[in-house]
Structure 1
């Protein structure tokens, strides 16, 4: 797997020896070394001195044809002609490491490292890989290159033996009983076909036995899988009447794995025994197995039961013997098949179990995480060794490896990185080791540094220590970046900064230079000297007089001043360079102030750029002359700002130190008119009065026409000038400020801001409230319609920047208030669906209460106040003497209210008796018991209303029994407020009545004779009317002409 081409200037510039930051590099005159961009020329660079010459070594890790990017290193001469080409080193043509196969796509030159004293260097190929089974492991390798650019050995500290590095010896029964032989050959061909046969992976030897064992081929005889398969296909059976398995196992364990027969001491040893019968030398088997155990041979036993099944013999003892040969446990190392043809059925399972051993089962488990370490992706030279970055280690979380010169290596285990790189992010690919470096602390303590640019997609740098046991102690996590933009280069470059080296002086000026790699190019940047400027400004006189004007400018009196601009120059750069250089500066007066209070002589508010020469170690000064015309804004000082920069337009020169300023500012104050001590002591006195009065017992009533309240406030200064005087105003939430007007003959400037809805902050007579000044303010407030409070208050506080003694501070605050109540504009009304009721006689209505009617109580808010806490009390006459109901409440209908029905009330006197109704004209709460309904109304906004419906029944039988002609039932309704309410209701809005007139009618008797006479008279009158009509011919019918003609024809 190849890593992305991420430019890795990431960590190198942070800890580059001799260069703290890149501000002193000459980006206008770079030395460019072009190369093939398709080979990623410029991926790495190295400043190198070897063979008496200075070079810039440039890595091109993608050099080579497509499909075999072996990489290479170019050496570019610094001395001599600037057009001299870079020479290719052809290092990719050499075979690195001890691999028996040529390595492709190893990308040599991804990192370059200087070696000490011998004029050589080290070039690394992080993607140098080797095949292990079906996998390819990129452990990486670095090549030592001498001063003549010839490889002299290699270093691969994370290279490991393949997990498939094992010697396999097959012990095959070739006696007469095993049949057919072709099935055995097929089994062998398929088994070896699954193995990765190679001198660096699996070697296979075969011993066939019957009466005596024979080495058919030894471990080192065949180098490829094809050769072993061909030998298995041509293998012929030795035959024999006996099966001497114990002897064959002994020969395999003593001879088969020996170096004489091609065995490798470090390889894992596997023995596969295939037989179809019990051995004739079984008593020798324990001794043979003991030899195998001593030789660390892992054994597989395969029992073929074909011979036993064909002869119907019991194979129990045979199976026990094969289980004894096989290593423990049996379920992993023991197989049995029914016949020779079934051998091919276990090939896959046997192959899987063989590779399940992984060959290197005795290695430290943590070493498996280094198989894809890609050593050499980044390198850093130390006095006693090399620090390598391993970006692919531990599932691409990354790690580092310290290789010491005595061949000892240190690397942290996976658990040591748990705190900084949690295992929960192991698939995140942080790429720790993308860049590595080190730093030496005071006291000789050394810290290693490594970057992980993809940690949490933001990057991380850790500073740590490595102990001899591999334990890692992280001292600090670092962040930061320093960069030189590619756009600053005269040539168009891409991937500028993918590699960097800054250790040597290559142009002979005693200053360290920097080589930077880009896509298809390498750039050499020369360092520039660093100077530090310490500017100073001294103004004469030090303050601007408000009163005195000492010169004439633009035809007006002005205050004239001068400023001495001086520069003290120092440098921390030694070497041979010209200590004289030029700077260019410009000056500005009141940069952020609108309008020009001040100007330079012969110029305006801005001074034209000027150029003058400085010298390292000297102080150079320049005089600036300016004047001030407008002194009215004398609280804000005049700002004199000078900006400057080095002028290297004519020739290359030094650069400013990173901490050196590029501007200086001087604030020139105005002198105060406060006596010789220049300290103003003031005494502000504040008074306030409200035009309404109201106490807790006798509050002021806010009526509909009274919507405003006036507050008069007076501020007076009884001592010296008060600068930046301000008046802080706060008032209760039931007030709105309508206007704030100063009352004075001479207008005074007042500017107010609103920090909150019920507060104001006003500047009074800015910038100065002079001695003896007095001003009265008229504050007009409006009462709020939404916030009703029991008190209205206004508080004022006066402050200034001048000094005021504690003894006079108490009169700087004034507060006025009044207790108030509100008179809302409410309309309280009642409406009934029944105003007149006639008592029905017996038999005309069903038994029970009479008709039901509804009384609606309505409260309308016609004012602006939002009112709440209203209570409606309904007194409904209902019960006469003896508990006789004449009206009763059946239901209460309400919305935006909560209603309750209370107990019957008792009248002042005894309730009226039904027989006394003829002497009573009214039924009300004074002579009857009343049903009482109390309703607490909800919030009532402006222009809204709330209603309550009372359904009542008329008890007709009560009025039938009573003797009266007419009476009126009076229901009384009262609108009230809750206790301690801020509302005050008028009498006209509190009461309402509903009247029901009850009338009792008497029946009129009619005589029978009168009724009979009336009927007979009516019939006689009807008969006379019919007779008259008959006489007049009303009932005769005229015939039409057509009918007369028809009758005449019939008669004829």
Structure 2
């Protein structure tokens, strides 16, 4: 963890690890970083420089003591001959301010190795030295041996450290004869004698790793090595004789020179060896004996170990020759290899032995590097069978499994299930082959049996089809605004998987629908012009989705690569309208002019994405199988997209014709006037407009009297009553001025003319009535 006050950045060092002129790593010193528990001070941080010129932290390193480790960091030339630059780090306050320098060998992947290869104390050169390591430089050769030297600064002094030539040493073991004879092995008598086994030879090859002058070739290298027989067994079957004592391990020291140096040692075994099936293991370990005083150094990267197995002689029942007849069978447990994240591929392998016992039986599987062997399990076996698998060093396409070592018995048959991890980043071919080989070490055995089968490879892809929120979902047209309107449908295709894959995109849409709805001037626009789209006349693939009367069109786009974790947007744009909407409004039925008319259509468009089904498998393919097929949008009125490769969108388009307001007003006024005329005529027919006067009633009375044969009798009461009725009727017909005069008469009395008229009327009545009395 980072620490405040650690003085991070006090020292910086750029490291060109392979000396190609480009900086690969940056080392940052924090000399005051402190860990109280471990009592350590100082730390350096290693950062790698990526291709984007960004620093990525790899790891950090601390020294095992106090001393402000990391105060000085210096890039050195190659010290050990591996072709990588090395690093020196100074700790000037270590060892009571005497100082020390740490050498770290270069690492191509991480910059430097996590542990130092050498620690150089300042007091080894001068006891009173102070601050050794406060300055370091190690690029040039200060001598004439063509080896880089290091100059270390201290207080008042500088120390030159000369590097030594570095040698690589390898060891090889061999033995003679090639097998351990079992002829003299006798466990019945149990003789306590030493039986010669084989002569063991240990050879060393020494080669200089650095590039020094020829004088370095004459230097020797003292090597101490140990030979062990059956080191993993508590009770050994073989031994050395050293001073007439039986020893399981033998240690000795020899001086090596450039080239090969061999040493031979006889080995022995007891007369009774029970286990003659498993070979005897030989192990050799070696190291440099006097590294401090020697003029040369053994490369710490040298493989300082060698292993060897010495087999026993085999005994067989038929002519002393074991003939194994191995057969293998291979079956794939799936139809294809599916390349996806964290996926495994399983195969079934059967190994049978129809001959004699098979010694050191192996089952070898060859496969593409994109497969990584995971495990081998026994699923069926005629007898208990053990197995052990291992990968060959630096071989990525081969796994060898030992079957029932040391002996795979006769008439045995075992079925295994082998699992392989599928690498998603590997560039797979359309098909891959897998070969299984059964082999044994039997002499004169039948030919190695093998079987090869091929299987197609498919990539699993993930794709999501969506409709953008900006898509138009509703439009309306009126007779006041029948002009074409813009339609904009945005589709997006997202690749949510890890693999780029090509797709073919097409959009199906109708150009004509009911109510004379039309789509004009339509096109498909692709984001960033990733592909070009054009109208295609072929509609055979879409006959189920579009009726012939709808004049559907298919806009097909050129194939494009859908990159992983990215997407592409397609926009369907165009103009839509209801053709001759005003003319339709003028020709609608008469009654509909009072109520108005409206209607709507469901405009739909369908996005179809195609890919190569032989090469790719969509992750949501199961949804496609479980869902019904896409229905005809014309039957349902809506487009349904149950297929994960299809995305539909629907736009509701409506037209509105309002009622005729002027016609409604005129019709209401006419009907009201007609009703008034009809009511007037009815009232007139009923006599509502006729008035009955006093003369009318007099006539009616005279008529009745005349019909009865009696003279007219003017009853004074009747006459006065009729007069009052007549006056009342007259008053009702009088104008307001006449009513005012009548009121004045009542108040002031009748006028003279009125009195005169009244007397005349009385005399008239008297004159009429007198003759009637005489007749009586």
Same structural fold, with TM-score higher than 0.5 when normalized by the shorter chain: no
If asked which structure has higher relative contact order (CA below 8 Å, sep 6+), I would say: 1
TM-score, structure 2 as length reference: 0.41
TM-score, structure 1 as length reference: 0.31
Structure whose residues are more often strand by fraction: 2
